[in-house]
Structure 1
């Protein structure tokens, strides 16, 4: 599928962008180009040291902002597949700088869509977040809007064969700004601040996120929102896994934070199908046959009222499993 093709990743210097880069270059060496599109020149410079042009002639680095449609149209020319990973994602920063969050997460999504439609891109996969499900903060609200824009883009493409889809998942283990690297850094101080002792979160590895994006690129029919079946963890178990000897003061929930995260609400259940490894929420307006979709993917409809949230999950990480995952995916020198 990717033979002699060009793939572009917006926000390509982020945690998932770098993991996607590694996966694509390792598994699809016959691609024509892999374009890393982002606005941070320092991160691009550092990433270019990891992928020197003499060893990785396929890779290109382009400075650009998703807010700049004209730049994106130029960048997207000749591109076959777009993975949209660029976003403002820190909840408190978005609450304090709402205009900037809206410009990047909503305006940027619109620019990705229109640049893709104008340049012959074949498929677009946009990254979402569990915070976009029944959002209570601005970040989640902007990502829900972004999801809706990408899903609806399939309705305005006319006879263009392009397909837009979305992947939604929970906290990526070890990603920049997430709780595990934060706790690892705070461990040296002897205190791990706990927002709420009942707090839970979904957990997915970087590779799990990569696999999901590649699944959507290869299998999406257009308009699906994919959700992975992944375990949850309790914030207290994360703290215990990292610093059993540390103090764990309760500091209170930050603005815009939930105790439990959702990825599928009861209202979504009317449009949600079980694909085995993933759930998918299909678009209300779709351009293909539901019956054929069900046959092709052996999909089964979830029960009415079904919901999927981190506090009611059936699969849980333990303190010991978290320690093993931290050593495997975050810090191979980690010891308790």
Structure 2
């Protein structure tokens, strides 16, 4: 049965939940969603004291939310943070392709060793469920970000397979570009417009999967509920062409009489032309419902039953195939995100 709000409330209520990287866009979205289910407590774990301070201001009157300053690269701080936790959402990571390409050693320490620390600490402290947040960049990757997150996925799968007699269950959630999250393409475009610069696109025909933060977080909550151990849940998403998103931004601002210019700059190191959601080797183990794909662990029987999921009917998992968002829908998203952008910048107009 598809998880209802009542089921999710029963699942999350009275639970102690740690969110690593909890001051980031996805982390904050998870915290906000969890609050509606009234867990026992939510601990936001991150290394950025400035972001923690600003986030505390939003939750200073809510006794459920507390903050823990620490670094996932430091095992001791992670182990201390997981004491008494029932569940962990692991979102902390280096997530920008260019940053990871330029600093691969730092990427390994954060995305791989940091993930290993979360796994070890969670198992040691008897955490019941650990949910790893991953990216579509792992699939057929050739950049440092994708490679590091792929190893993290395999660490979670291996830990689950080798902890069969323990109470900790681990899974991964994989998805693409989150519209409006820090460092994603649309806020970059809005920054460029606000500074009077041209919108820079690598190639107009490049495609990306996308999902909004509320949609992503809602499906993460359901995936955490469904998790039995070892699965990779993949969010179903629409896709868009970078050039069409840039056009939508230009059309939106052009209505006020100032139409930005578009500049094509070519592919950057590590960038892929199209993204993919699922490996070819995973296809035989893919099940689906209306919102999620569930890639079962390699040791599972894909012909058996798994909750309410059914065998996937369509094996189209590339961003240049399947459902593309319309130009009107893109323009509506641009308008919505611009309003949020103005609020973050103090209400000024561009």
Q: Shorter-chain-normalised TM-score: which range?
A: over 0.9
Q: Is residue 10–residue 38 contact of structure 1 (8 Å, CA) maintained in 2?
A: yes
Mapped partners of 2:129, 2:320: distance in 1: 34
**Larger deviation, residues 320-329 vs 226-235:** 320-329
Paired position in structure 1 for 2:85? 79
What is the aligned counterpart of 2:229 among 198, 222, 228? 222
- Given the alignment, which residue of 169, 175, 181 partners 2:187? 181
Shift of 1:307: 4.0
Q: CA deviation at 1:229?
A: 1.6
Does the 8 A contact of 2:156 with 2:170 survive in 1? yes
Alignment check: 8 A CA contact 2:207 2:320 kept: yes
SS at match of 2:201: coil
Secondary structure of the structure 2 residue equivalent to 1:239: helix
Structure-2 residue corresponding to 1:251: 265
Residues 36-185 of structure 1 mapped to structure 2, 5 A cutoff: 36-52=44-60, 55-185=61-191
- Shift of the 183–301 alpha-carbon distance from structure 1 to 2, 3 Å rule, reads closer
2:320 aligned with 1:311, yes or no? yes
TM-score computed with the length of structure 1 as normaliser: 0.92
Question: 1:79 is paired with a residue of what secondary structure?
Answer: coil
Aligned length: 326
Query: Does 2:206 correspond to 1:195?
Result: no
1:268-287 superposed matches below 5 A = 268-286=282-300
2:27 aligned partner: 17
Give the SS at the match of 2:147.
Answer: helix
Deviation at 1:2, TM superposition (A): 1.9
How big is the shift at 1:18? 0.8
Q: 1:76 and 1:298 mapped to 2: Cα distance?
A: 31
Higher mean C-alpha displacement, 126-135 vs 154-163: 154-163
Q: 1: distance between equivalents of 2:266 and 2:303?
A: 48
Counterpart of 2:14? Answer: 4
**Change over 3 Å in CA distance of 1:28–1:274 after alignment to 2:** closer
Q: CA deviation at 1:329?
A: 4.8
Q: Judging changes above 3 Å, is the alpha-carbon distance between structure 1 residues 269 and 76 closer, same or farther for their aligned structure 2 residues?
A: same
Measure the CA separation in 2 of the matches of 1:266 and 1:93.
28
For 2:167 and 2:91, the matched residues in 1 are separated by 22
Gaps of 5+ in 2: 1-10, 252-258, 343-348
CA shift for structure 1 position 67: 0.8
Match of 1:327 among 335, 338, 350: 335
Distance in 2, matches of 1:77 and 1:291, equals 38
Quickly say closer, same or farther: Cα 1:333–1:254, change in 2 above 3 A.
Answer: closer
Residue 298 (structure 1) shift: 3.8
CA-CA distance at 1:280 after TM superposition? 1.4
Residue pair 2:248, 2:334 contacting (<8 A) in 1 also? no
- Asked if structure 2 preserves the Cα contact closer than 8 Å seen for 1:272 and 1:302, the reply is no
| Cα deviation code 1:312-331 (max 9, x no counterpart) | 12x11122211212333553
| Runs of at least 4 residues off by over 6 Å | 333-336
TM-score w.r.t. structure 2 length? 0.89
Could you tell which deviates more after superposition, 322-331 or 181-190?
322-331
Q: Is the Cα–Cα contact under 8 Å of residues 163 and 221 in structure 1 kept in the other structure? A: yes
Task: Call closer, same or farther: CA 1:41–1:190 in 2, change over 3 Å.
Answer: closer
